[in-house]
Structure 1
Amino acid sequence: MSKKVDVAIIGAGTAGLHTFGQVRQKTSNVVLINAGHYGTTCARVGCMPSKVLIEVAKEFSRRQHFENFGIEGSLTINRAQVMKHVRRMRDGFVGRVMEGVNKIGDKNIKGRARFVEPQVLEVNGEHIHANKIVIATGSRPIMPPEWQKLGVITSDDFFELEDLPDSIAIIGLGIIGSEIGQALGRLGIRVVGVEMLSTVGSLSDPVINKVAIEEFSKDFEQLWLGSAAQLSDDPAGGIKVETEQGQSTTVDMVLASLGRRPNFDNMGLEEVFGIDLSNGLKGLINPHTMQLGYFPVFVAGDVTSIRPILHEVADDGVIAGYNAVRDTATAFKRRVPLGIAFSDPQIVIVGASFAELEGQDIVIGERGFVMQGRTKVMARTHGHLRVYADRQSGRLLGAEMMIPDGEYIGHFLAMAIEHEMTVQDVLLTPFYHPTVMEGLDDALKAIAAQLGKSKINLGLLEK
Structure 2
Amino acid sequence: MTKKFDVFVIGSGMAGMTIANRCASKGLSVGITDELPYGGTCALRGCDPKKVIIGATEVRDFAKRLKGKGIDEIPEINWQDIMAFKQTFVDEMPPKIEKGYKKNGIETFHASVKFVDNDTLQVGQETIQADKIVVATGSKPKVLDFEGGELALTSTDFLNLKKLPKSLLFIGGGYIAFEFAHIAARSGANVTIVHRGERPLENFDPDIVSHLATATEDLGVNLVLETEVTKIEKIDKGYLISGTTNGNVNQFEVEAVFNSAGRPPAIFDLELERANVAYSNKGISVNKYLQSTSNPNVYAAGDAAETEGLALTPVAVMEGHVVSSNILKGNSKEVDYPPMPTVVFTLPTMASVGMTETEAKNSGLEFRVNYDKVDDWFNARRLNVEEYAYKTIIDKNNGTVLGAHLIGPHCEETVNLFAMAIKTKMTVNDLRTMVFAYPTMASDLTYML
Correspondence 1:419 to 2:424: yes
Paired position in structure 2 for 1:14: 14
Distance of aligned partners of 1:140 and 1:119 in 2 relative to their CA distance in 1, 3 Å threshold:
same
Distance of aligned partners of 1:210 and 1:118 in 2 relative to their CA distance in 1, 3 Å threshold:
same
CA contact (8 A) 2:57 2:77 kept: no
Distance of aligned partners of 1:227 and 1:415 in 2 relative to their CA distance in 1, 3 Å threshold:
same
Shift of 1:136: 0.9
Correspondence 1:255 to 2:258: yes
CA contact (8 A) 1:83 1:163 kept: no
Shift of 1:396: 1.1
CA contact (8 A) 2:348 2:387 kept: yes
Shift of 1:149: 6.3
Matches within 5 A, 1:90-109: 90-94=90-94, 96-104=96-104, 107-109=107-109
Offset from partner CA, 1:102-124 (integer Å, 9 cap, x none) = 53566112333332222222334
Correspondence 1:76 to 2:71: no
Which residue, 369, 380, 388 being the options, matches 1:383? Answer: 388
Give, as a single letter, the amino acid of the residue that structure 2 aligns with 1:70.
G
Q: 1:413 is paired with a residue of what secondary structure?
A: helix
CA contact (8 A) 1:150 1:233 kept: no
Shift of 1:418: 0.6
Unaligned residue ranges in structure 1 (runs of 5+): 445-463
Paired position in structure 1 for 2:374: 369
Offset from partner CA, 1:264-320 (integer Å, 9 cap, x none) = 223232233163x343435x212x421111522110112125421111001111111
Which residue, 398, 401, 405 being the options, matches 1:396? Answer: 401
Q: 2:241 is paired with a residue of what secondary structure?
A: strand
Paired position in structure 2 for 1:344: 347
Shift of 1:6: 1.7
CA contact (8 A) 1:200 1:212 kept: no
Paired position in structure 2 for 1:459: none
CA distance in 2, matches of 1:399, 1:57: 26
CA distance in 1, matches of 2:205, 2:63: 32
Correspondence 1:216 to 2:221: no
CA distance in 1, matches of 2:358, 2:140: 27
CA distance in 2, matches of 1:125, 1:221: 48
Give, as a single letter, the amino acid of the residue that structure 2 aligns with 1:224.
V
Paired position in structure 1 for 2:33: 33
Shift of 1:327: 3.1
Matches within 5 A, 1:74-223: 75-94=75-94, 96-104=96-104, 107-144=107-144, 151-223=151-223
Distance of aligned partners of 1:300 and 1:190 in 2 relative to their CA distance in 1, 3 Å threshold:
same
CA distance in 2, matches of 1:232, 1:11: 32
Shift of 1:205: 1.9
Distance of aligned partners of 1:153 and 1:234 in 2 relative to their CA distance in 1, 3 Å threshold:
closer
Give, as a single letter, the amino acid of the residue that structure 2 aligns with 1:77.
I
Paired position in structure 1 for 2:300: 299
CA contact (8 A) 1:365 1:388 kept: yes
Give, as a single letter, the amino acid of the residue that structure 1 aligns with 2:409.
P
Distance of aligned partners of 1:358 and 1:248 in 2 relative to their CA distance in 1, 3 Å threshold:
farther
Distance of aligned partners of 1:426 and 1:280 in 2 relative to their CA distance in 1, 3 Å threshold:
same
Paired position in structure 1 for 2:48: 48
CA distance in 1, matches of 2:331, 2:74: 65
Q: 1:88 is paired with a residue of what secondary structure?
A: helix
CA contact (8 A) 1:11 1:135 kept: yes
Give, as a single letter, the amino acid of the residue that structure 2 aligns with 1:81.
D
Give, as a single letter, the amino acid of the residue that structure 2 aligns with 1:424.
N
Distance of aligned partners of 1:264 and 1:354 in 2 relative to their CA distance in 1, 3 Å threshold:
same
Shift of 1:169: 0.6
Give, as a single letter, the amino acid of the residue that structure 2 aligns with 1:346.
T
Distance of aligned partners of 1:369 and 1:234 in 2 relative to their CA distance in 1, 3 Å threshold:
same
Give, as a single letter, the amino acid of the residue that structure 2 aligns with 1:38.
Y
Give, as a single letter, the amino acid of the residue that structure 2 aligns with 1:299.
A
> How many pairs were matched up?
441
Q: 2:329 is paired with a residue of what secondary structure?
A: coil
Q: 1:67 is paired with a residue of what secondary structure?
A: coil
Q: 1:260 is paired with a residue of what secondary structure?
A: coil
Q: 1:68 is paired with a residue of what secondary structure?
A: coil
Give, as a single letter, the amino acid of the residue that structure 2 aligns with 1:328.
N
CA distance in 2, matches of 1:362, 1:237: 55
Shift of 1:101: 4.0
Give, as a single letter, the amino acid of the residue that structure 2 aligns with 1:343.
T
CA contact (8 A) 2:147 2:230 kept: no
Unaligned residue ranges in structure 2 (runs of 5+): none
CA contact (8 A) 2:38 2:93 kept: no
Shift of 1:172: 1.3
**More deviation in 89-98 or 244-253?**
89-98
Distance of aligned partners of 1:102 and 1:186 in 2 relative to their CA distance in 1, 3 Å threshold:
farther
Give, as a single letter, the amino acid of the residue that structure 1 aligns with 2:319.
D
Percent identical: 26
Which residue, 225, 246, 265 being the options, matches 2:268? Answer: 265
CA distance in 2, matches of 1:442, 1:183: 31
Correspondence 1:440 to 2:445: yes
Shift of 1:236: 5.4
CA distance in 2, matches of 1:426, 1:312: 26
CA distance in 2, matches of 1:285, 1:98: 29
CA distance in 1, matches of 2:371, 2:274: 52
CA contact (8 A) 1:3 1:129 kept: yes
Paired position in structure 2 for 1:279: 281
**More deviation in 203-212 or 92-101?**
92-101
Give, as a single letter, the amino acid of the residue that structure 1 aligns with 2:219.
D
CA distance in 2, matches of 1:339, 1:261: 18
- What is the TM-score of this pair, normalised by structure 2? 0.91
Shift of 1:217: 0.9
Shift of 1:16: 0.6
CA contact (8 A) 1:118 1:272 kept: yes
Distance of aligned partners of 1:370 and 1:111 in 2 relative to their CA distance in 1, 3 Å threshold:
same
Q: 1:140 is paired with a residue of what secondary structure?
A: coil
**More deviation in 413-422 or 224-233?**
224-233
Shift of 1:168: 0.4
Give, as a single letter, the amino acid of the residue that structure 1 aligns with 2:14.
T
Q: 1:347 is paired with a residue of what secondary structure?
A: strand
Paired position in structure 2 for 1:461: none
Shift of 1:180: 0.7
CA distance in 2, matches of 1:150, 1:279: 20
CA contact (8 A) 1:87 1:159 kept: no
